[in-house]
Structure 1
Amino acid sequence: MKIAIVIASNNKNLALAKKLKNIAMDLGNETQIIDLVEENLPLYTPTTQEKLGIPHKVKDLHQTLTNSGGMIFVAPEYNGGIPPSLTSAIAWLSVSGEDWRGCFNGKPAALATHSGGGGQYVLLAMRTQLSYIGMNVVGRSVLTNGNKPLNPESAQEVIKQLVRWG
């Protein structure tokens, strides 16, 4: 399966994404990390869209996600919710064309976080939002923090679920 790993923060979440990429590749999948921090998309507002139109980076991101068979979203918890980089990217994608849902609808998604807090709130928020836009979010998630390192066997099972749903 071609898996897009979308990360919404650098540092420990980027390190987690790289570990998940290696696990997915070891299981025979093709992967690509999409670092939303590096993409540096402008904050979505209708006024910004009116001034800029749809940025080329958003069109490229739409194409990349459309061509993926599934996605892993890796994001830290920001005040009990989703980081602005991910929310804004989804907002941009939602106005990026006539079939913006084509890059999400019916595709499997897995969730992961490395959070300074518990991490459960961001997993719940991502599950809710991604389900709303048509993704099939697998039941298990990857949750790591300062007291809970990555369990590679558990991460393998999450990725296997993602691939089975794809």
Structure 2
Amino acid sequence: MRVLAICGSLRAASLNRKLLRVAAEVAPEGMAVEEAPIGGIPIFDEDIEAKGLPDSVAGLRERCFAADALLFVTPEYNYGVPGGLKNAVDWLSRRVEGKQPFAGKPCAMMGASGGMGGTIRAQLQLRQSLQLLGALTMPGPEVFVTQANGRFDADGNLTDAPTRAAVEKLMAAFGQWIARMKG
């Protein structure tokens, strides 16, 4: 089972990229989690699209279509989805030859933030967009890592046992969700 993970933070040492690595570590047997970077994607522009998809977008689309499922790991910026992630979703949502990669694709999400609310609002916005696009978004469990700065050590390792357990629970449920949606 191939899961393509998309991190909404562009920063190499982001809390969400660290959380994504934990998800890959605790993924159930038979599930491979691979990150797809979104940093090189240009801002969506129909004039650019009319000339053909940029290579960065075309490559991401191919990887999304090839994956069995998508895992989104997102921070929350100003009560919402980060611009880079929203931009990637906007590019991917475009129909090429009548197809877009979210339709019928099992998806899950989680996120980490330094604040008290975790990424509740960002995940809600992302969930709404994905549902509109026909993604099969897993209803739960949900992972909203609050005060995430204190949950990782200086080397980026998750040190908080309850957070690790929550990610393990999400990934186990995601494996079941994918099997059920693909079955």
TM-score when normalising by structure 2 = 0.80
Change in 2 beyond 3 A, CA 1:143/1:27:
farther
Superposition pairs of residues 9-28 of structure 1, within 5 angstroms: 9=9, 10=11, 11-24=14-27, 27-28=29-30
Distance in 2 (CA, whole Å) between partners of 1:36 and 1:8 is: 8
C-alpha contact (below 8 Å) 1:93/1:100 kept by paired residues: no
Please list every run of at least 4 consecutive aligned residues from structure 1 whose deviation after the TM superposition is greater than 3 angstroms.
147-150
Match of 2:146 in 1: 145
The answer as to whether partners of 2:93 and 2:102 remain within 8 angstroms in 1 is no
CA RMSD of the aligned region, Å? 1.8
Match of 1:46 in 2: 46
State the distance in 2 between where 1:19 and 1:152 align: 7
Q: How many Å separate the matches in 2 of 1:53 and 1:67?
A: 20
Counterpart of 1:135 in structure 2 is 135
Largest Rg, 1 or 2: 2
CA positional deviation for 1:96? 5.6
Unaligned runs of 5+ in 2: 152-159, 179-183
Task: Report the secondary structure of 2:143's partner residue.
Answer: strand
| 1:61 match | 60
Local SS of the residue matching 1:141: coil
8 Å contact kept, 2:22–2:167 = no
d(CA) in 2 for partners of 1:135, 1:161: 17
Equivalent pairs: percent with the same residue?
25
**Which of 111, 128, 134 is 1:113 aligned to?**
111
- For the residue of structure 1 that corresponds to 2:25, the secondary structure is helix
Question: Which secondary structure state, in structure 2, belongs to the residue aligned with residue 36 of structure 1?
Answer: coil
* Structure with the higher helix share, 1 or 2: 1
Structure 1 Cα separation of the partners of residues 43 and 96 of structure 2:
18
Matches within 5 A, 1:65-144: 65-95=64-94, 97-101=96-100, 103-117=101-115, 118=117, 119-138=119-138, 139-144=140-145
Residue 169 (structure 2) pairs with residue 157 (structure 1): yes
Which has a greater percent of strand?
Answer: 1
SS of residue paired to 2:36: strand
What is the distance in 2 between the residues matched to 1:115 and 1:132? Answer: 26
Residues 99-131 of structure 1, C-alpha deviations (whole Å, 9 max, x = no match): 432x21122111111123312101111111111
The residue type equivalent to 1:121 in the other structure is R
Structure 1 gaps, min length 5:
none
